[in-house]
Structure 1
């Protein structure tokens, strides 16, 4: 990875955040929209120019300025041909909407309007490829940014400051970088806007967990498969798995009811070369209205791979009774949790997602699901029913219990369930990785970070189905059933007692030593008892 390019990219993001701060929008709810739209606009602009370098029409152009000048000089027919035949899924940016064109017009009286028109125009020109679905409607790529500045007389200056921050940077050298580069850029880009970890749709899965899940699910990659996340958040899990499988070997499908999450998801897919999967990004409630349907248009689509870090608890009181109706009974076969009367936000909604995931797997499909560690041993009806089904169906491949505070924003201990319906298992590998990692401060919170060696250990042990003392154990399904379907590794570790051979003389010596210590302790106890009694007498006399 080129660290110079990475640092330059992160510096450009910082400049955009500085612009927002200078105009009073730091930590405002609109800041993430401005930052992501401006960043993506620049990315798409530079990507198109980068692709032009590969076309014969621009073969003799020496630099970006010459390419832009040649592009401006083409007639409409030639530009249309390039758009339709040459660019494919690369976004098309008209000459008048390129960053350099807007930079040259930043002193005009209507610059804010021009800037927004460029964003909206690019979104409309590329609506068929770059939109995501909201129910049956479409959310276009850009919505404009100047509207977030309340004082109209400051909008031109704000948009000019943005265009200056963008024009000082070029993505040209970044396009040769891979997933590791863009995953770091993406994480840095959104790190200030995913602070509600654990609430629906606005959480971020650490790359360590995403990496572990991907490399256990598809250690050797795969071909022509589908990857799905029903609570996708910003897309970390599906992107990590898609990279492990091979971006050209899979199609991703996601759904989330959070608008912010879906915007991040789209950005993540674009940065990582999965533009073809944008049409499968859906903004809607997965539990009530799953939008990925089979060819018949009625039944749910089934997937080869499913990864998910669903919200653990959330207020679903408005739809709880709907989900518990006969219409949903087949999908939510284990039941629907009750809504706590005084704390509806603590409804265990993750149990619904586990059922939805198991229902959405293809025969032979594989899944990895992040759950609260308490699920592994919970005795309540729904939890027990889900665990029982996994065992009786022979589909539990194993569990990895992670260290506490693996997420910086929540102290909830988490584990990862690995499900595999490709064959019937009769045992599962249970891994207790809770003691791994080192603590580090992230803002006001403490987070546990796994080292590369620790990540490799978890993956190697799991894929090799290897038993290690007090770390991993192969638990027979029969034993699991006998322990009320507990998935907790600690309950299956062998209790080992270390023995040391000693002579009768050594035994007598040790016994004598212990006896002397006991006599001393008894004597000390009697002395303290006498002292207490004397003090009590003194108190009574007084």
Structure 2
């Protein structure tokens, strides 16, 4: 009940904040996105501080107004309290609390006080909560939320916000786990994480895809046994894939590493990490261009990772940086080559092949990866795609492929497959054709395919157990794949079945007579039509 209650309260809070933005002319704007995410995060950090402080100090837990008790502490006592909280709780001062801002809402220049408070929290927590760009600049936790609001409306705008934040506390939900926060995060960002605008614009990865990837990379039997591993996504978006993998491994058993060219995505990812108890990985979140400036390195070499997940952009015009990528220092990373610029439709350049090569090069020996690719890739007969396939097969570093149903992404009609790379798998490779699974549903103006929980689990079980299921899956050797010109399409390995039906001589005679009678009827109609056409032609006269 607590979970449902707070999910509803959280959704009401988000909707209220959006309503406040809309009233002030910020509906569906970039400004709204920044305000919603930052105000929610401020609320979350304030209540998390209260939750952790009350666990440590019994006096705070009993106090009617815990904020006043904190305010009465000496600087040394407050410092000691914060040291005991651990690194995933923001360091706050009494004048940072929501209750303090609430008490000051009728003072002059309240909007400035609100902004100054967020900026001070960001400065106080800069070392832990900042995202870094590939040039070394730190992107702080908060920015000023009033810049896009009309000056005359700012105080009223901030008063409306603070009155919403004071209505309830999140304290009772901090014992909840991943599934709760995944639902909340999805609701917060549902209007902001789309495929519109910006280079390398992110597509929201469906949870079914994320769950299947995590459950195959980290099978149930291995959970609780893996520790101290690194998980990487070179085109991380808002982090859906990484959160699922981290949850499967255990949030305290892994470190997250990311890079994404989008500022918006990096900010969303930071929020996702904070919600999911992965604050320790925020310093590894990099805002920057993975292809041109890969940040995560060990010395001069690319850093190698235990697990890699990615849903990279598929096709995109990168002609402006192609020459830069086609350099001597990138020869090893882009071992299969760099796509050329088509004479027409530059935006069809296969950028996913670069991300895929980068992922293969960044994988540890015996590491595991799962990458979303266009389904056409798995049957490529020529070009860079085929070279990558040959590399994976010849070096025996495949676990398998799951070809998903069409429209699994509501935002794109491209058919997708999940490519599983596993350098430790020297046995059979599992190929699954799940294209006939799922139910078609409307998603706004689009149609998408939704897998049922049972269908998701079937895919996972068949893959992890290497089952051969009629018209669904096969387990084939590397030698068989090479003999099929490196095709990873399950359908090409299915047995061709010819069904025979036993019939009696009389039934056979009757069936043949039926065919003969049908043909005689068709021939008769043909002769009649032929005579009619000749008659009509004979009646035509010149000039008529």
Report matched runs for 1:177-192 at 5 Å: 177-192=176-191
**Does 1:264 pair with 2:268?**
yes
Give the TM-score, by structure 1 length.
0.95
Counterpart among 356, 364, 374 of residue 362 in structure 1: 364
Give, in angstroms, the shift of residue 528 of structure 1. 2.9
Cα 1:449/1:435, change in 2 over 3 Å: same
Residues in 2 aligned to 1:189 and 1:343: alpha-carbon distance in whole angstroms:
35
**Mapped contact 1:201–1:256 kept (Cα < 8 A):** no
Residues 240 and 535 of structure 1: is their aligned pair in 2 closer, same or farther, counting only changes over 3 Å? farther
Q: Which runs of 5+ in 1 are unaligned?
A: none
Map 1:108-257 onto structure 2 (within 5 A).
108-135=107-134, 136-149=136-149, 151-196=150-195, 200-219=200-219, 220-221=222-223, 222-257=226-261
1:294-328 C-alpha deviation (Å, 9 max, x unpaired): 2xx22111011100000112222221111111110
Shift of 1:87: 4.0
Q: Is the 8 A contact 1:202 1:260 kept in 2?
A: no
SS in 2 for 1:148: coil
Q: CA deviation at 1:282?
A: 0.6
Cα deviations across residues 69-98 of structure 1 (Å, max 9, x unaligned)? 111111222212222343433102211111
Change (3 A) 1:141 1:268: same
Please report how far the alpha carbon of residue 446 of structure 1 lies from its aligned counterpart in structure 2 after TM superposition: 1.3
Shift of 1:366: 0.5
**SS of 2:442's equivalent?**
strand
CA distance in 1, matches of 2:537, 2:470: 53
- Displacement of 1:511 in angstroms is 1.7
**Cα gap change, 1:87 to 1:468, in 2 (>3 Å):** closer
CA distance 1:154–1:414, shift in 2 (3 Å): same
The Cα shift of 1:479 comes to 2.8
Q: State the secondary structure of the residue aligned to 1:252.
A: strand
Residues 88/428 of structure 1: CA separation in 2 closer, same or farther (3 Å cut): closer
The aligned counterpart of 1:412 is 414
Q: Which residue of 2 aligns with 1:470?
A: 471
CA displacement at 1:217 relative to structure 2: 0.6
**What SS is found at the alignment partner of 2:307?**
strand
Tell me if the contact between 2:88 and 2:278 (Cα under 8 Å) persists in the aligned partners: no
* Mean CA deviation greater in 118-127 or 69-78: 69-78
For residue 192 of structure 1, give the secondary structure of its aligned residue in structure 2.
coil
Q: Give the corresponding residue for 1:498.
A: 499
CA deviation after TM superposition for structure 1 residue 342, in Å? 3.9
User: Residue 538 of structure 1: CA displacement?
Assistant: 4.1
Q: Which residue of 2 aligns with 1:101?
A: 100
Which residue of structure 2 lines up, in the alignment, with residue 51 of structure 1?
A: 52
CA contact (8 A) 1:339 1:347 kept: yes
Deviation at 1:278, TM superposition (A): 0.6
Structure 2 unaligned regions, length at least 5: none
Q: Deviations over 1:346-379 (max 9, x none)?
A: 2211000000000000000000000011111223
Which secondary structure state, in structure 2, belongs to the residue aligned with residue 279 of structure 1? Answer: helix
Measure how far apart 1:424 and its partner are.
2.0
Quote how far apart the aligned CAs of 1:522 are. 2.1
* Paired residue secondary structure (2:39): helix
Change (3 A) 1:461 1:341: same
- The 8 Å contact of residues 12 and 169 in structure 1, kept in 2 or not, is answered as no
**Alignment coverage as a number of residue pairs:** 536
SS of the residue 1:404 aligns to: coil
Q: Corresponding residue for 1:276?
A: 280
**SS of equivalent residue, structure 1 residue 146:** coil
With structure 2 as the length reference, what TM-score do the two structures score? 0.95
